[in-house]
Structure 1
Amino acid sequence: MDERSGPWWRGVTGYQWLVFAVASGAWLFDTMDQRLFSLARIPALGDLMALPPSHVEVQAFAKIVTALFLVGWGLGGLIIGPLGDRFGRVRLLAISILLYSLCTGITAFCRTPAEFAALRFVTGLGIGGVFGLAVAIIVETVDGRARLAMLAGLQLLSTVGNVGSALVKMGVDDLARHDLIAAGSVWRWLFALGALPALIAIVAMIGLREPQSWRDRKAEGRLPKGAFGAYVDLLGNPAERRGLLIGSLLAVAGVVGLWGIGEYAVDLQHAVFTAYYDGRLAPDAAKAAVTDAKNWAYMLQMAGGAVGMLIFTLIADRVGRRPAFLTCFAAAFVVTMFVYARMQTPTDAYWMMPLMGAAQFSLFAGFSIYLPELFGAAARGTGVSFAYNLGRFAAAAGSFGSAWLSTSLFGGFDAPDPLRYSAMTMCVIFLIGLAAAWFAPETRGRPLPA
């Protein structure tokens, strides 16, 4: 009987559901941690530096910390991926979760900006290890349409993590407004709550076992030689070298597009919404209206992101992975250019941000579905981690590049024009992804590389 005649979840075992729950939960809280950092970094550094959050030194050091976080994230993927291929993916996934969750919790107690920066770098190492390992474990535990659905679901839940972080921030802010916690300690409470995913690591260590294919390779003595031997296996195979190049270009374009362009939509919104409300409301009411409008725009962007991931999955399943990437990179270029060129009011943001979220986040469903199909079992965790996390280094450079464009090249324009023009200039990265997708091998309907 054709497996498409029934629902994809038919035949999924209880253990496979547990694997999905642990892997996707690890990634959900991973993305929540990322977003909590974005929300709390400026207040935290303002407190630690004893300066107003808007002070130029706080803003400058925040960029350095963000870059360190992204570099740690990238290094974590490059280091932990091959360690998982050699010593066990479940074991290294649990270590990665513990690393990012415990370091996030410890951040709540730091006393200096240097401690804050160091802890965010180490947190990034743990965060960088999660995606490649989580994807590899699902791929080697689940088959057929259930595998594609779970891989897409893992990435879809990242939007839940992003929204969850915003809700947590709103809840902690509400506690501060009611004097249940000190207003200046909000950022510390946010990081303290980030330690909770350590419970998932315990479940992984107790409830999961290494995939059968990994255990078979271990019994036969076919695991990578040495801690980083997976790179030798990966680079020694011409097909996998090509897959690594294509996968890395796709991921770099998508990650830079989100972190180097999409993240700056918040800055554009702040400028546009402030200009819109300043002439219509009293100062305090205008400030509150700007905050509310930014929150709504973000929630709608995440909702659009979830829809975009579902659309990518549908195209990838019915037509192919390559057409899905071509469609979504083209959409990301056109929609992002349009949004940055035309957003003028909160009402604009309420329908534009879901479109931009759908276009940009759709690509990330593709990374979880497509990247593991490019690599053989021996170095799959390494290949996925390398390709996906290489984009973090590019994103760190993209953050500085965007800052240079907005302050130097376009700095002579009236606000918010520098933000618009720098973001529109950086949209060229989506064209690089489009070119990489054109040369990408189609993997739909083909067995995973052995």
Structure 2
Amino acid sequence: MSDNSQHRAWWTQLNGYHWFVMTVASLAWFFDCLDQRLFSLARNPALKALMPGAPDGDIQAVGKEVTALFLVGWGIGGMIFGALGDRYGRSKMLTVTVLLYSIFTGLSFFSTHYWDFAIYRFLTGVGVGGVFGLAVALIAETVPDGARAGALGTLQVLSTVGNITAAFINMGVDALQTAGTITPGTGWRWLFLVGAVPAFLVFFIRGYLKEPEPWLKLKREGRLPTGSILAPYAALLRDARWRRNLIVGAIISSTGVVGLWAIGEYAVDLQRIVFRKHFEATGAVGPELAKLVNGAVTNAYLLTMVGAAFGMSFFTWLCGKTGRKVAFAVGFSSAAIITALVYWKMNSPMDAYWMTPLMGGAQLGVLAGFAIYLPELFPSRLRSTGTSFCYNLGRFAAAGGSFFSAALAKGAYGQYGSPDMERYSAMTMCVIYLAGIIVLIWAPETKGKPLPED
């Protein structure tokens, strides 16, 4: 690639097949994010139906425990399919992961107890966890170097479309329940059934998507990982350069993942407490109160996703303008400050409508950096393994944070209507962003450089 191409708009450097790869990988990630958000929206209604008569505090706590299991499955899936992607091919394993999360999301429709619901969510997480590393490795190794950052950043920006689509699907299902088309209280089941639709994407993946040339070259030369599934990890740890990159990438990614899933994910719980008190003060009760609270939560979520799209776009631009390290320093600092302020000061729906878009932009903006930066840290023969390991290691830490948050929630919701425990636990956990800032001291700058090889 000539130096001149580095100064052209990234999308002008793509041919028809590049756009096809972008589309397939983006759809896999779109549906992955759709599934994640459908789960967040359906989690508590599902548990209320599966745990009849349980107090609100128990529902909130069990919901966080089920989320933790989903995250553990996510982490395990990322570790497994990352290594399998380096051995057997990115497109082949992408097919398997899409099928896996589609099937078990659909099976959640048939849940009869909270424990089988939790098992389905764990197995869905295994499939969900494999997608990111495979998708970004596929794009990174297919598009020209000058288009790589823009293409990978756009992959993450488009993930917000999946989240927003989930919110509109939820609104449609709620309307069908209100109209009596769907039995009231069963809407959550239909949300999970919608999550099975991505299985049809497999036909396009298997029929037309090719493995990237760098991986095919390694296959022809007999240089792909062999041995047990742990062999790629052993290879990463043996080499000092890849070992350092693995540690740096894992800490950077874990910082953002914990911030999003163990802090930001539960903003909706605080919103429901705050919004309920706000509308109760206006005299709303019963179904009218629930309608106002749910509507305000939905509005806040949609605005958060708009903020996330702008945040990811800005982060992608910043990566290209200043370099990856400066972009992460700005992103983590912003996320820590804004998240703490939002949890401290949010006291009404109007507060949420301008605060949560800022928090979404800061927290999710750094995820665009993961898509751009992680595949730039590892060689082709270990790229899927290294990327998946870094991105998914934080799921285990986030799961621990969810269990911790569940314990706090039992205290907070034991006196329902008091948001103090939700506020202070989230504000305290914002200290995690310091880890991401500090590790940048040892992080390599990859701006303007080709993908590394042995």
Q: Please state which band the TM-score falls in when normalised by the shorter chain.
A: over 0.9
- Say whether the 8 Å CA contact 1:411–1:418 is kept in structure 2: no
CA deviation vs aligned residue, 1:225-245 (integer Å, no higher than 9, x gap): 124221122111111111111
Who is 1:300 aligned against? 303
**In the superposition, relative to structure 1, how do residues 347 and 409 fare at CA in structure 2: closer, same or farther (>3 Å)?**
closer
In structure 1, what is the Cα distance between the partners aligned to 2:165 and 2:157?
Answer: 13
In structure 1, what is the Cα distance between the partners aligned to 2:359 and 2:398?
Answer: 18
Who is 2:433 aligned against? 430
- Say whether the 8 Å CA contact 1:24–1:154 is kept in structure 2: yes
**Structure 1 stretches lacking a partner, 5+ long:** none
Deviation at 1:411, TM superposition (A): 8.7
Who is 1:139 aligned against? 140
In structure 1, what is the Cα distance between the partners aligned to 2:83 and 2:156?
Answer: 22
* Structure 1 position 356 matched with structure 2 position 385: no
Local SS of the residue matching 2:258? helix
**In the superposition, relative to structure 1, how do residues 412 and 283 fare at CA in structure 2: closer, same or farther (>3 Å)?**
closer
Who is 2:112 aligned against? 111
CA deviation vs aligned residue, 1:5-62 (integer Å, no higher than 9, x gap): 543211311111111111111011101101111111222222233335x445444433
**In the superposition, relative to structure 1, how do residues 244 and 317 fare at CA in structure 2: closer, same or farther (>3 Å)?**
same
Deviation at 1:288, TM superposition (A): 2.1
Who is 2:89 aligned against? 88
1:329 alignment partner, one of 324, 328, 332 = 332
Spell out the pairing of 1:166-315 with structure 2 (5 A cutoff). Answer: 166-228=167-229, 229-284=231-286, 285-315=288-318
- Say whether the 8 Å CA contact 2:61–2:410 is kept in structure 1: no
Deviation at 1:176, TM superposition (A): 1.1
**In the superposition, relative to structure 1, how do residues 185 and 204 fare at CA in structure 2: closer, same or farther (>3 Å)?**
same
Spell out the pairing of 1:435-450 with structure 2 (5 A cutoff). Answer: 435-450=438-453
What letter is aligned with 1:277?
Answer: F
What letter is aligned with 1:21?
Answer: T
In structure 1, what is the Cα distance between the partners aligned to 2:289 and 2:111?
Answer: 34
In structure 1, what is the Cα distance between the partners aligned to 2:308 and 2:121?
Answer: 26
In structure 2, what is the Cα distance between the partners aligned to 1:14 and 1:378?
Answer: 26
- Say whether the 8 Å CA contact 2:343–2:423 is kept in structure 1: yes
**In the superposition, relative to structure 1, how do residues 413 and 427 fare at CA in structure 2: closer, same or farther (>3 Å)?**
farther
Deviation at 1:368, TM superposition (A): 0.3
**Structure 2 stretches lacking a partner, 5+ long:** none
- Say whether the 8 Å CA contact 1:326–1:438 is kept in structure 2: no
- Say whether the 8 Å CA contact 2:257–2:398 is kept in structure 1: yes
Who is 2:65 aligned against? 64
What letter is aligned with 1:41?
Answer: R
What letter is aligned with 2:254?
Answer: V
**In the superposition, relative to structure 1, how do residues 412 and 428 fare at CA in structure 2: closer, same or farther (>3 Å)?**
farther
Deviation at 1:343, TM superposition (A): 1.2
In structure 2, what is the Cα distance between the partners aligned to 1:392 and 1:235?
Answer: 21
- Say whether the 8 Å CA contact 2:263–2:429 is kept in structure 1: yes
**In the superposition, relative to structure 1, how do residues 74 and 231 fare at CA in structure 2: closer, same or farther (>3 Å)?**
same
Deviation at 1:115, TM superposition (A): 2.1
Deviation at 1:180, TM superposition (A): 1.1
Who is 1:17 aligned against? 19
In structure 1, what is the Cα distance between the partners aligned to 2:442 and 2:335?
Answer: 18
- Say whether the 8 Å CA contact 2:34–2:166 is kept in structure 1: yes
**In the superposition, relative to structure 1, how do residues 326 and 176 fare at CA in structure 2: closer, same or farther (>3 Å)?**
same
**TM-score using structure 1 length:** 0.96
**In the superposition, relative to structure 1, how do residues 170 and 408 fare at CA in structure 2: closer, same or farther (>3 Å)?**
closer
Who is 1:378 aligned against? 381
Aligned CA RMSD, in angstroms, stands at 1.9
In structure 1, what is the Cα distance between the partners aligned to 2:169 and 2:444?
Answer: 41
